[in-house]
Amino acid sequence: MNDLYLAAVINTTFRYTTPVLFAALGSLFCTKAAVFNVALEGQLLAASFVAIVANYYTNNAFISLLAGVGAGAFIAWIVAVFQIKWKVRDMVVGTAMNLLVQSVTAFLMQIIFGSRGTVQGFGMVPLTKINPTFLKFSPFLYRMFEDLSTIDYLGYIVAIIIFIYFYKTVSGFHHLSVGISGTAADSLGINSQRIQIRAVVISGILCGFGGVVHAMGNVTVFAENMTSGRGFIAMGAASMAQSHSLVAIASSLFFGTMLSLSKTLQGYINSYFTEAIPYLCTVLAITIYGVIISIQKRRAKKIL
Amino acid sequence: MKHITKTYGALVANNSIDLTLQKGEILAVVGENGAGKSTLMKILYGLEAYDSGEILINGESRKFRSPHDAIDSGIGMVQQHFMLFPPFTAAENIVYGHEPKRKGILFNRAEASDKVKELCKRYGMYIDPNVKVADCPVGLQQRIEILKVLYQGVEIIIFDEPSAVLTPQEVKELLKTIKDLKQAGKSIILITHKLSEVMAVADRVMVMRLGQLIKTMPIGETSIEEMSFLMVGHKLETRKIKKIGQGSAVLKVEHLTLAGTGERNTLDDVNLFVRRGEIVGIAGVSGNGQSELIQCLTGILKFQAGSVIINDQDVSNRSVQEIRDSGCACIPEDRYYWGNAAEATLVENAIMSHYKKSNLMRYGIFHKKNTTQFANDCMAEFDVRYSSDKQAIQELSGGNVQKLIVAREISQHSPFLIAAEPTRGIDIGAIDFIHSKLLEKREKGDGILLISSELSEIFALSDRIYVMYEGKIAGEFTRKEATNDKVGLLMMGGTLNG
Amino acid sequence: MDEFKKRKLVDDVASPLIAILAGLLVGAIVMLLTGTDPLHAYGEMFTKSFFKPYYLAETLVRSAPIMLSGVAAAVAWRAGYINLGMQGQMCVGGLVATVMALYLPIDSWWGTVLCFAGGMTAAALFALIPTYLDYKFNASLIITTLMLNYAINHVTNYFVAYPMRDPAGDGMAQQSIQIAKSMRFFRFSNKNAMNSSVFVAVLVVLLMYFVFTKTKFGYESKITGLNKHFAQYGGIKSMKTMFQTMALSGALSGFAACIEIFGVRYRYVNSMFSSTGYAWTGLMAMLIAGYNPLLTLVYSIFLAGLNIGGTALQRTVGVPMQIADIIQCCITLFVSVRILHEFKQMQANKTPARVGGKKGGTT
């Protein structure tokens, strides 16, 4: 196996990480406000679909991006109204919304494109790519970072911004306080409901970016249910990061690696089994994480 | 406050109440649980809306839609249940909602810390701005709450049952703080049912009962007996405890030790026993290991060393069911967390831990008539007020829920009963009833372990009293030996000399 | 009927009805946006699902796996364990049962019973994997059950793509060979798929209703779901409840899969449980029914009819069949909003006051 192959694998990893990272950031942004958002999957899928539709009609990457992000935010807003305003149970809202987005996108795909399966071509444009020519001195490094879209870089910047938001600003401080105790926050004059709704909508915006880059980042295509559980993988990544945005970068990269491995190993192992890899790895990862936490807890307890 | 009226459906919480507070005075509002004093204060602080009446501050009529409005008008409240964020520091909690900012969006934590230090100096209360609230003992947490209120620049401070969670020593400090605040020019409303505190600091006192204002008078013109009489509506007779002989030990706890995660064990070498026919009380401020002790005795927590013997059987670290089967019933300390399932029906709640009995269930299938009959009998005997046995238990008032739980546990007819905070937060009628039922059980020859943060309850019912402090048994008294001072001293970690 | 029973009846019946109407309304709006006449479309939909014998038979047949997976979900969710893996459990149960049917030497009805037992056991064990991981290591049941859905779907598809593939016909379809005729459920006529397994399904659902309301297991799992601390305090063993509930949930999903295979398809087909969405439809039926098995039965038939009608609609009017999914998702959302409950609260605060009343007051 030559060097460049490894670089290519890493490159693919970056690509697969981005949607997971954005969704994970969305997940922890909600968790920090004590909102359990199960509809990340639907938010991602809606964004992917609307971005492709916009791309189909306008052939413009920027407008498609805006449309996709808007779709993610819109779905999240519906989730917020049902879950926070009308106090519907989180599992019900999330599951129903995920299924709803699945069926609406399949429905619209038939209506707009007249086809089931995938939507490709039609002069649709991909996202703007960045090619770091200054890295050309090392073919390995250049291949690693070749052809990544702007949004791929944006993910890491957003993670840092979220970190600064929580620990340096007053607004982030209130957000964290709502996550600790909504009743206390309300009694002290901070509208916890408003903060929670805002958190969900922002998670929708973040998932919006994730969905757009998923559909337009590499090959510009939409396939039915193309997110295939990434929303839930992202939830796993966020919980393993203990809802810390910087650590979420690491856990998302881990899952991105698993996702890219499932593609690269297709040459060696039957594709049916490689497809199952990311899901089994998620289960394994959160299990091992749980093992570590329980060992830590047991060590902390000792008789004096 | 003029003619304030507030109803919740069929219940009148406040019936045309008038309250006047002069500048620089301490007004005490007294009454039993359910009298309506907390409701009145929630209205004043903007947490609840009133149905009719008027609030005037310095002569101007005000409408409070939220605590924000109340604070803007200069009213602050130190609530009974602290509204703190444990992971944050003291300074962060104190400035919450009015944080000093840098460039409009950044949190200036350094300035917050300075402001807190200033406040401490001005009012003579000390707190480390950077200590995490989770690491502070309850008395310190209350101080943070007071500083929070002062930071907002209020002139009127409401204290809602502030001494409920404090040791007697901390209560003395609190009363001193209240007097200092009065010196600093603040006007104070003190809600309490501890009449000794009222006598110690109040200028005037207002008595409420069942939603009505009974009387308002200057402190010089009244006494504890009069206030007590007005609060309850009739003379309280001190209950006579029948003298009966004690039998063998039904509970024996030896060297019980439970590991902790900090510098000390949660329970440390606890030794105690309860005999048949006696009520043994454990006095102590909440949080000194009582909850954990109950959980170890009932099998919910596993402990590392020591033994628990109930009804002559060693049940150390056995399962909850095995411990119940050995003859132990338990009235839990938090009726909502441990004691019932809110959406379940009254029948379903009543049969818990009874349902395996042969007349209620056979081969895993319930006998509907018998279970319903059993539940209704329980509730009738214990005076539980309800509309239908199929309604969800969350529709009952707190007192009735507690009575149902007490009914359920006493109907186990077990030789040993743990009664944890059996009358917390319920009205005087229900308290009286439950006390009489506990004494009834004692006279039958069963043993009861009573755990309560209400010292008066411990003194009223116990044959013997243990004191718990920081996970250890600090002392033991018989009814004759125990005095408020001695017990209070041990409760806060002191030692008796001689 | 006393006041309380009256109130409960209104809540249980009216809320879902309002939700269903609201869901149908949303469907109508969507249809209007695509240029279809909703009244005509709904007319088609309901005749082509309930009012013609062929379609009614299809609806009932389809409702069987749906009601079973709905009850499977109810068993677990009611006890507070969020099992999202019914689909995966169906795949495992179905595949194991098919393998047993194809390779076991027994060919009669006893063979079918054995296969069902095998499939249900396999599905139950499969459900216990994430259960164990959650119990021992706190690995969220929601994530693990869902992940295993995706994973096992791929793995079972592999089996019918390679080792178990039926070479008959053009060999393009990825499915197993058919099971023996003697192992299949009795089919009533050649014109539709109605068969005796539907009655078995209904019986099982009725049995589960009995289990929920009258048995120790039903009581213990209900209380565990409402307040697990109360359950622990009362002596209910949380581990036993968790494992028993999840195993039963898995077994019921396996049973649903076997019904579909031995009653309708007679073979294991690639993605047969993920493309049809029985598990998710069943879940939604259960949510609309508020965990009640009897109501789940009713709503399963309703949702099955919606799906059948939707397919027919695609053929005749040209509206994509996903319209049925859209409507049922909306119904599920609306039913949880408890509109009536909010309305009642407002009414309650207006009744005249009684001084010092003790019923239903504050603390």
* Model pLDDT for residues A230-283, shown as the tens digit of each residue: 999 999 999 999 999 999 999 999 999 999 988 888 888 888 888 899 999 999
What are the CA-CA distances from residue B4 to residues A176, B218, B227, B354, C350 (Å)? 37, 22, 22, 46, 18
**Amino acid letter for position A249:** I
Burial class for B241, CB neighbours closer than 10 Å (0-12, 13-18, 19+):
middle
Q: Within an 8 Å CB–CB cutoff, is residue B385 touching chain C?
A: yes
ipTM exceeding cut-off 0.85 for this assembly: yes
Residue with tokens 């009308």: A86
B84, B109 contact by CB (below 8 A)? no
What are the CA-CA distances from residue C156 to residues C29, C131, C228, C276 (Å)? 39, 21, 36, 16
Q: CB-side exposure of C208: number of CA atoms within 13 Å? A: 31
In this structure, what DSSP letter does residue C261 have? I
Query: Which of B15, B349, B352 would best serve as a mutation to test chain C binding (most C beta carbons within 10 A)?
Result: B352
| Letter string b/e over residues B474-488, b meaning 16 or more CB atoms within 10 A of that residue's CB | bbebeeeebeeebbb
Question: Quick count: other Cβ atoms within 10 Å of Cβ C227?
Answer: 22
What is the four-CA torsion angle of C349, C355, C357, C361, rounded to 10 degrees? 40
B218 pairs with which residues across the strands?
B204
What's the Rg (C-alpha) of chain A? Answer: 20
Cross-chain residue pair C216–B340, CB shorter than 8 Å:
no
Question: How many angstroms separate the CA atoms of C239 and C242, rounded?
Answer: 5
A46, A72 contact by CB (below 8 A)? yes
Res C125 pLDDT > 90: yes
Give chain B positions within 8 Å (CB) of C1: none
Res C254 pLDDT > 80: yes
Q: Domain with A190 in it: what CATH number?
A: 1.10.3470
What's the mean pLDDT in C161-166? Answer: 83
Q: Are residues B168 and B286 in the same domain?
A: no
State residue C326's pLDDT score.
94
Give chain B positions within 8 Å (CB) of C347: none
Residue of A nearest to C318 (CA): A111
Q: Structurally, how many domains does chain B consist of?
A: 2
B419 φ, ψ to 5°?
-115, 105
**Amino acid letter for position B254:** E
What's the mean pLDDT in C260-268? Answer: 90
Cross-chain residue pair A233–C323, CB shorter than 8 Å:
no
Confidence of residue C357 (pLDDT cuts 50, 70, 90): very low
Q: Which chains touch A (3 or more CB pairs under 8 A)?
A: B, C
The parent domain of residue B257 ranges over 249-341+409-491
Q: Structurally, how many domains does chain A consist of?
A: 1
Using CB atoms, pick whichever of C150, C322, C333 lies closest to residue A279.
C150
Cross-chain residue pair C322–A104, CB shorter than 8 Å:
yes
Both tokens of B98, joined, read 């009015």
Residue B309 maps to a domain: yes
Both tokens of B431, joined, read 């308290």
Question: How many angstroms separate the CA atoms of C75 and C198, rounded?
Answer: 20
- The closest of B147, B145, B164 to B83, measured between CA atoms, is B145
Residue C108 maps to a domain: yes
State residue C347's pLDDT score.
60
Q: Are residues B189 and B318 in the same domain?
A: no
Question: How many angstroms separate the CA atoms of A162 and A172, rounded?
Answer: 9
Residue B371 maps to a domain: no
State residue C238's pLDDT score.
92
Question: How many angstroms separate the CA atoms of A41 and A101, rounded?
Answer: 9
Question: How many angstroms separate the CA atoms of A207 and A20, rounded?
Answer: 9
Q: Are residues B197 and B305 in the same domain?
A: no
Both tokens of A77, joined, read 């807003």
What's the mean pLDDT in C214-222? Answer: 93
The parent domain of residue C300 ranges over 3-343
State residue B14's pLDDT score.
79
Residue with tokens 């990061």: A241
Residues 204-233 of B with CB under 8 A from C: 210-211
Residue C359 maps to a domain: no
> Model confidence over C225-253: pLDDT tens digits?
999 999 999 999 999 999 999 999 999 99
Map residue B189 onto helix, strand or coil: strand
Mean pLDDT, chain B cut into blocks of 10 residues (498 residues total):
71 77 86 78 81 81 81 86 91 90 88 91 86 87 91 89 79 87 89 83 86 80 78 67 82 90 85 92 87 93 92 92 92 92 90 82 84 90 84 84 92 93 83 90 92 87 91 88 82 71
Mean pLDDT, chain A cut into blocks of 10 residues (304 residues total):
80 94 97 96 96 92 94 97 92 95 93 81 82 80 86 94 94 95 87 95 97 90 91 95 94 94 84 90 94 86 66
Tell me which H or E stretch contains B249.
Answer: strand B249-258
Residue B397 maps to a domain: no
Question: How many angstroms separate the CA atoms of C198 and A133, rounded?
Answer: 66
| Letter string b/e over residues B389-415, b meaning 16 or more CB atoms within 10 A of that residue's CB | bebbbebbbbbbbbbbbbbbbbbbebb
Q: Are residues B261 and B313 in the same domain?
A: yes
Res C362 pLDDT > 70: no
Confidence of residue C342 (pLDDT cuts 50, 70, 90): low
Q: Are residues B73 and B191 in the same domain?
A: yes
Backbone dihedral region for residue B36 (phi beyond 0: left; psi -120 to 50: alpha; all else: beta): left
Question: How many angstroms separate the CA atoms of B147 and B122, rounded?
Answer: 11
A149, A128 contact by CB (below 8 A)? yes
What's the mean pLDDT in C125-140? Answer: 95
Torsional sign, CA B70, B76, B78, B83: positive
Burial class for C156, CB neighbours closer than 10 Å (0-12, 13-18, 19+):
buried
| Nearest-CA distance A301 → chain B (Å) | 5
Using CB atoms, pick whichever of A233, A276, A287 lies closest to residue C139.
A287
Question: How many angstroms separate the CA atoms of B198 and B227, rounded?
Answer: 10
**Amino acid letter for position A248:** A
B302, B294 contact by CB (below 8 A)? no
State residue C258's pLDDT score.
94
What's the mean pLDDT in C185-197? Answer: 82
Using CB atoms, pick whichever of C219, C353, C360 lies closest to residue B348.
C219
Give chain B positions within 8 Å (CB) of A173: 92, 99, 107
State residue C53's pLDDT score.
82
Which residues of chain C are at the A interface, by a Cβ-Cβ cutoff of 8 Å? 30, 34, 77, 82, 84, 130, 133, 136-140, 142-144, 146-148, 150-152, 154-155, 157-158, 161-162, 280, 283-284, 287, 320, 322-323, 325-326, 329-330, 332-333, 336-337
Question: How many angstroms separate the CA atoms of B281 and B477, rounded?
Answer: 10
C30 φ, ψ to 5°?
-60, -40
Q: Domain with C77 in it: what CATH number?
A: 1.10.3470
What's the mean pLDDT in C77-82? Answer: 95
| Nearest-CA distance A176 → chain B (Å) | 10
Beta-carbon contacts of A62 under 8 Å, excluding residues fewer than 6 positions away, are none
The parent domain of residue A233 ranges over 3-300
Q: Domain with B147 in it: what CATH number?
A: 3.40.50.300
Q: Within an 8 Å CB–CB cutoff, is residue B496 touching chain A?
A: no
Map residue B213 onto helix, strand or coil: strand
Cross-chain residue pair B107–A184, CB shorter than 8 Å:
no
Report the predicted TM-score, pTM, of the whole model to 2 decimal places. Answer: 0.89
What's the mean pLDDT in C115-121? Answer: 95
Residue C73 maps to a domain: yes
Res C314 pLDDT > 50: yes
Torsional sign, CA B7, B13, B14, B19: negative
A226, A215 contact by CB (below 8 A)? yes
Res C353 pLDDT > 50: no
- Reading across the β-sheet that carries B60-62, which strands appear in turn? B11-17, B2-8, B52-57, B60-62
Q: Structurally, how many domains does chain C consist of?
A: 1
Map residue A118 onto helix, strand or coil: strand
Question: How many angstroms separate the CA atoms of A29 and A36, rounded?
Answer: 10
Q: Are residues B107 and B212 in the same domain?
A: yes
Using CB atoms, pick whichever of B342, B344, B366 lies closest to residue C214.
B366
